Amino acid sequence: MTPLNLARTAYATARTTIRTDKRMEYDLFTQITRDLVRTSKDQATAFSAMVRALNDNRRLWTLIAIDLASPENALPDNLKARLLSLAAFTETHTEKVLCGAADVSILVEINQSVMRGLNQGKGIAA
Protein backbone atom coordinates (compact mmCIF):
# COMPACT_ATOMS: atom_id res chain seq x y z
CA MET A 1 0.00 0.00 0.00
CA THR A 2 1.36 3.41 -0.95
CA PRO A 3 1.83 6.18 1.60
CA LEU A 4 -1.00 8.12 -0.03
CA ASN A 5 -3.38 5.17 0.37
CA LEU A 6 -2.26 4.73 3.97
CA ALA A 7 -2.93 8.40 4.66
CA ARG A 8 -6.39 8.16 3.08
CA THR A 9 -7.21 5.08 5.11
CA ALA A 10 -6.04 6.69 8.34
CA TYR A 11 -8.00 9.85 7.62
CA ALA A 12 -11.16 7.91 6.78
CA THR A 13 -10.89 5.99 10.06
CA ALA A 14 -10.39 9.17 12.07
CA ARG A 15 -13.29 10.85 10.34
CA THR A 16 -15.73 8.08 11.16
CA THR A 17 -14.72 7.94 14.82
CA ILE A 18 -15.55 11.63 15.26
CA ARG A 19 -19.24 11.07 14.52
CA THR A 20 -21.39 11.11 17.64
CA ASP A 21 -24.28 8.75 18.30
CA LYS A 22 -26.70 11.64 17.78
CA ARG A 23 -25.04 12.51 14.48
CA MET A 24 -25.30 8.90 13.31
CA GLU A 25 -28.99 8.81 14.30
CA TYR A 26 -29.55 12.07 12.46
CA ASP A 27 -27.77 10.78 9.36
CA LEU A 28 -29.84 7.58 9.38
CA PHE A 29 -33.06 9.52 9.70
CA THR A 30 -31.95 11.83 6.88
CA GLN A 31 -31.11 8.98 4.52
CA ILE A 32 -34.27 6.99 5.25
CA THR A 33 -36.53 10.05 5.08
CA ARG A 34 -35.05 11.05 1.72
CA ASP A 35 -35.72 7.53 0.45
CA LEU A 36 -39.32 7.68 1.70
CA VAL A 37 -39.90 11.02 -0.05
CA ARG A 38 -38.18 9.95 -3.27
CA THR A 39 -40.01 6.65 -3.59
CA SER A 40 -43.41 8.05 -2.61
CA LYS A 41 -43.27 10.44 -5.57
CA ASP A 42 -42.94 7.58 -8.06
CA GLN A 43 -44.93 4.72 -6.49
CA ALA A 44 -46.13 3.23 -9.78
CA THR A 45 -42.66 2.49 -11.11
CA ALA A 46 -40.77 2.09 -7.86
CA PHE A 47 -42.98 -0.03 -5.63
CA SER A 48 -40.09 -2.31 -4.63
CA ALA A 49 -37.97 0.74 -3.78
CA MET A 50 -40.82 2.15 -1.70
CA VAL A 51 -41.16 -1.17 0.14
CA ARG A 52 -37.41 -1.11 0.86
CA ALA A 53 -37.62 2.48 2.16
CA LEU A 54 -40.62 1.62 4.34
CA ASN A 55 -38.85 -1.46 5.66
CA ASP A 56 -35.70 0.55 6.44
CA ASN A 57 -37.84 3.07 8.31
CA ARG A 58 -39.61 0.33 10.23
CA ARG A 59 -36.29 -1.30 11.15
CA LEU A 60 -34.93 2.05 12.37
CA TRP A 61 -37.97 2.58 14.58
CA THR A 62 -37.76 -1.00 15.87
CA LEU A 63 -34.14 -0.44 16.89
CA ILE A 64 -35.13 2.82 18.57
CA ALA A 65 -37.87 1.02 20.51
CA ILE A 66 -35.41 -1.67 21.61
CA ASP A 67 -32.97 0.99 22.78
CA LEU A 68 -35.72 2.90 24.61
CA ALA A 69 -36.71 -0.26 26.48
CA SER A 70 -33.14 -0.81 27.62
CA PRO A 71 -32.44 -0.05 31.30
CA GLU A 72 -29.30 1.80 30.19
CA ASN A 73 -31.31 4.35 28.21
CA ALA A 74 -31.06 7.62 30.14
CA LEU A 75 -33.84 9.56 28.42
CA PRO A 76 -36.64 10.82 30.66
CA ASP A 77 -39.53 8.38 30.98
CA ASN A 78 -42.08 10.74 29.40
CA LEU A 79 -39.87 11.17 26.31
CA LYS A 80 -39.34 7.41 26.11
CA ALA A 81 -43.10 6.87 26.23
CA ARG A 82 -43.73 9.39 23.44
CA LEU A 83 -41.03 7.89 21.24
CA LEU A 84 -42.35 4.37 21.88
CA SER A 85 -45.80 5.58 20.82
CA LEU A 86 -44.30 6.92 17.61
CA ALA A 87 -42.55 3.59 17.02
CA ALA A 88 -45.86 1.75 17.44
CA PHE A 89 -47.66 4.21 15.17
CA THR A 90 -44.94 3.86 12.55
CA GLU A 91 -45.40 0.10 12.57
CA THR A 92 -49.17 0.21 12.06
CA HIS A 93 -49.11 3.08 9.58
CA THR A 94 -46.46 1.35 7.49
CA GLU A 95 -48.85 -1.60 7.06
CA LYS A 96 -51.55 0.80 5.86
CA VAL A 97 -49.16 2.39 3.35
CA LEU A 98 -48.15 -1.02 2.03
CA CYS A 99 -51.84 -1.95 1.58
CA GLY A 100 -52.54 1.31 -0.25
CA ALA A 101 -54.84 2.57 2.51
CA ALA A 102 -52.59 5.50 3.53
CA ASP A 103 -49.71 7.55 2.25
CA VAL A 104 -46.20 8.00 3.54
CA SER A 105 -46.40 11.72 4.37
CA ILE A 106 -47.05 11.32 8.12
CA LEU A 107 -44.05 8.99 8.42
CA VAL A 108 -41.91 11.64 6.74
CA GLU A 109 -43.28 14.31 9.12
CA ILE A 110 -42.53 12.14 12.15
CA ASN A 111 -38.96 11.52 11.01
CA GLN A 112 -38.42 15.20 10.27
CA SER A 113 -39.71 16.10 13.73
CA VAL A 114 -37.28 13.65 15.34
CA MET A 115 -34.47 15.08 13.20
CA ARG A 116 -35.29 18.58 14.46
CA GLY A 117 -35.17 17.24 18.01
CA LEU A 118 -31.79 15.60 17.42
CA ASN A 119 -30.53 18.80 15.83
CA GLN A 120 -31.79 21.10 18.60
CA GLY A 121 -28.91 22.31 20.72
CA LYS A 122 -26.59 19.54 19.56
CA GLY A 123 -24.64 21.43 16.92
CA ILE A 124 -25.76 19.08 14.15
CA ALA A 125 -26.03 20.87 10.85
CA ALA A 126 -28.82 19.74 8.55
Domain ranges of the chain: 20-119
Residues 6+ apart with CB under 8 A from 53: 32, 35, 36, 38, 39
Rounded to whole angstroms, the Cα distance separating 24 from 122 reads 12
pLDDT in tens, the chain (126 residues): 555 544 455 555 444 455 577 889 999 999 999 999 999 887 666 788 999 999 999 999 999 999 999 999 999 999 999 999 999 999 999 999 999 999 999 999 999 999 999 888 554 444
Helix axes 47-69, 77-98, angle to 10 degrees: 160
